[in-house]
A and B are shown apart, each in its own frame.
Chain A
Amino acid sequence: MIRGVSQSGNFTRQFIHQGFNQDEANRIVHDGAWPIIAGRRVAANVRWGQPDGVLELYQLGSEGPQWWSPYPDVARNLPTQSILDRCSATGTCPKIVEHFGSSEVFALKMTTEWVGTSANADIPLPRNVRRYYIPSTTHGGGGGGFNANPPNTPVNCPGNNWGQGAFRANPVSETEITNVLRLAMRNWLMNGTPPPPSRYPTLTGGNLVEPTQTAMGFASGIPGIPSSIFAPENFVNPVFDYDWGPQFNRTDATGVPTNFPPAILATIPMRVPRVDADGNEVGGVPTVLRDAPLGTYLGWNITTGGFHAGQVCNYVGGMIPFATTRADRLANGDPRLSLEERYGSHDGYVSAVRTAADNALSQGYLLQADRDALIQGAQASSVLQ
């Protein structure tokens, strides 16, 4: 099996796309592939390609198909293609499990994989691919736990001295779903037991929307979140359709780019998950902290200073705790219900955690051992104590 995380997850997708899962004797190389927190490919097999590129301005990496099923790339005037074209032709496609979270949507241009470059239809998944979206998570997930008021320690926005983020780190964990998928992948490859069904936001389900405050349903007045963050120039990192010049093969992302910097032919429309009244994302796998929240969990942050001040601080999701009491939230003008109003007491919170955990367990997205540990963690916490 091949497994990659973040950029190496993007490499995993590129590996498959290039047909490298077939060896010199035409045998399948990896029975399974697990790209993690990765939603695109890398710039390989192209002059000046930077396989470590993270899609900053004028970087290659989003060219060609980013999706698993054959689908037309209408917005870029390219033919119907998929990442699996080469391996499908040779019968060497692996079974694929992919999982990711909110930071990949906002920073890593991921939703093009889901809805194509026209962003107007859900691209189906083939039977050898499972997709799991963990809502309201930072890049790779947070440290977990049940802390209603984690230390407000500034987080660093990675890369290019982007500065610090305004919100404390998002604790929502991806560990539990990773545990499920590790076991599921093993069973799928070794004895053919199918993994749980895919779970991710979709246009059809109404959970994937335009990246505007109105479309998302993001309430105004949540402390620390100005409406200006939702402006297109501040919010989602978009895909640009570049003109790399006549020697560049736009269909396959190969050849020789000669236009530097390239002209931007179009901005590809992006989509983001819809949120609930608390600003927490709707759709994807059920998780305990999302379903029994202690605050608003974001897959993005806001850069506090420097060149990118006021813009999204990518990769590092934030958390905005709920007020403890109704009086607190009214004093702050916070539209979100307080912990007291939601859960009543510590026991009430533990009950909510138990319900959320049992829901995830019953649907196959949480292991029994993790379910038990989460409930114990909630019981031992100081929430409403």
Chain B
Amino acid sequence: MKTRSLWAAALVAGCFAWPAQAAVQGFTGPFAPGTWTTTTTGTITGGSGGTASISNNILTLVGGNGPTTGNSASACVGGVTGFAGPCQINFLTTTVMNPFAFDWTYTTVDSEGLGSDLFGLLIDGVRLQLSDPGGAITQTGHRSVSAGSSFGFYINCTDCIEGAATASIANFQAGAIPEPGTIALLGPGVMFAGGARRRLRASESATAALSSGGGESANR
């Protein structure tokens, strides 16, 4: 009897409760500025490893760059033009609320184009390149992806000369927003069960998965 009462109370509460992981819009809440980690790797002789700046609405990531010598030698120690090498700036969170969705813009002042500075996602520590090395000097796109243990962005400047590349992330969203009509249509049992299922997924480890890419544009 007591158990049945508790279930009934839970079902009633579930009718009026939001899902356990409501979507986060913008860099707010668990993804607010200050919750992310910025790291740079590799050594850029005489140069900078890159910077990250973030507000509630937009993230701007600038890649590393060093002085250009007359013989186009790499400023990144061990770096080779066009190959993702040791010199990289990473911008990461270990808070996972799937899916992550965002708009991105990427450009460079490097006359070589975007083949020399590579931008993409870090999903569970693995690079997923978004920038097109043969595409336009400014590129845009929209992505929705899922991660297991960590999510973020990177710029790898490969040889890190001839100017830095810049990525902008806007319209960031984490977690799924329920459809407005769904709340009314859901029966209380389904609501309660749905919340429990989401809590279970959050505690499970999952391999990174990429959902459909959405509309990338090379600004033809």
User: How many residues on chain A are close to B (CB under 8 Å)?
Assistant: 28
- Among A21-29, A197-205, A216-224, A376-384, the one that faces the other chain is A197-205
Cα distance, A359 to B158, chains bound together (Å): 29
Q: Is B7 an interface residue (CB 8 A)?
A: no
How distant is B119 from chain A, measured CB to nearest CB, in Å? 11
Cα distance, A52 to B147, chains bound together (Å): 53
Cα distance, A146 to B205, chains bound together (Å): 59
- Binary per-residue interface labels of chain B (46-73) against chain A in the complex, 1 for a CB within 8 Å, 0 otherwise: 0000000000000000000000000010
Residues of A within 8 A of B82 (CB): 69, 124-126
Q: A133: nearest residue on chain B (CB-CB)?
A: B134
- Among B21-29, B33-41, B110-118, B172-180, the one that faces the other chain is B110-118
Beta-carbon contact of A205 and B159 below 8 Å: no
A127 in contact with B113 given A201-B134, A204-B129, A204-B133 (CB within 8 Å) = no
Residues of A within 8 A of B83 (CB): 69, 124
Beta-carbon contact of A124 and B137 below 8 Å: no
Residues of A within 8 A of B81 (CB): 69, 124-127
Beta-carbon contact of A291 and B220 below 8 Å: yes
Q: Is B131 an interface residue (CB 8 A)?
A: yes
How distant is B115 from chain A, measured CB to nearest CB, in Å? 6
How distant is A183 from chain B, measured CB to nearest CB, in Å? 15
> For chains A and B in complex, what number of residue pairs have CB atoms within 8 angstroms?
78
Q: Is B216 an interface residue (CB 8 A)?
A: yes
User: In chain A between 205 and 232, which residues have their CB closer than 8 angstroms to a CB of chain B?
Assistant: 205-207
Residues of B within 8 A of A282 (CB): 220
Q: Is B135 an interface residue (CB 8 A)?
A: yes
Cα distance, A363 to B137, chains bound together (Å): 8
Q: Which of A127, A194, A199 contacts B135, CB < 8 Å? A: A199
Q: Is B124 an interface residue (CB 8 A)?
A: no
Q: Which of B72, B80, B111, B159 contacts A197, CB < 8 Å? A: B111
Q: Is A94 an interface residue (CB 8 A)?
A: no
Beta-carbon contact of A198 and B218 below 8 Å: no
Beta-carbon contact of A124 and B133 below 8 Å: yes
Cα distance, A93 to B162, chains bound together (Å): 20
User: In chain A between 248 and 291, which residues have their CB closer than 8 angstroms to a CB of chain B?
Assistant: 282-284, 286, 291
- Binary per-residue interface labels of chain A (65-76) against chain B in the complex, 1 for a CB within 8 Å, 0 otherwise: 000010000000
Q: Is B136 an interface residue (CB 8 A)?
A: yes
Residues of B within 8 A of A207 (CB): 132, 134, 218
How distant is B80 from chain A, measured CB to nearest CB, in Å? 8
Q: Which of B129, B131, B134, B158 contacts A199, CB < 8 Å? A: B134
Beta-carbon contact of B216 and A197 below 8 Å: no
Q: Is A128 an interface residue (CB 8 A)?
A: yes
Residues of A within 8 A of B220 (CB): 282, 286, 291, 359
User: In chain B between 118 and 158, which residues have their CB closer than 8 angstroms to a CB of chain A?
Assistant: 129, 131-137, 158
- Binary per-residue interface labels of chain B (153-189) against chain A in the complex, 1 for a CB within 8 Å, 0 otherwise: 0000011001000000000000000000000000000
Cα distance, A204 to B127, chains bound together (Å): 13
Residues of B within 8 A of A197 (CB): 111-115, 137
Cα distance, A69 to B80, chains bound together (Å): 9
Beta-carbon contact of A122 and B137 below 8 Å: no
Q: Is A346 an interface residue (CB 8 A)?
A: no
How distant is A173 from chain B, measured CB to nearest CB, in Å? 18
Cα distance, A335 to B37, chains bound together (Å): 51
A202 in contact with B134 given A124-B115, A127-B81, A197-B112 (CB within 8 Å) = yes
Q: List residues of B whose CB falls within 8 A of some A CB.
A: 72, 80-83, 111-116, 129, 131-137, 158-159, 162, 213, 216, 218, 220
A-B pairs, top 5 by smallest CB distance, nearest first, are: A124-B82, A197-B113, A205-B132, A194-B111, A200-B134
In the complex, 27 of the A-B residue pairs with CB atoms within 8 angstroms, ordered by the A residue number, are A124-B81, A124-B83, A126-B82, A127-B159, A127-B162, A197-B111, A197-B113, A197-B114, A197-B115, A197-B137, A198-B115, A198-B133, A199-B113, A201-B134, A202-B132, A202-B135, A204-B131, A204-B132, A205-B132, A205-B135, A207-B134, A283-B134, A283-B135, A291-B220, A359-B220, A363-B136, A363-B137
Other contacts beyond A124-B80, A125-B82, A133-B134: 5, CB < 8 A: A127-B72, A197-B137, A198-B113, A202-B132, A283-B134
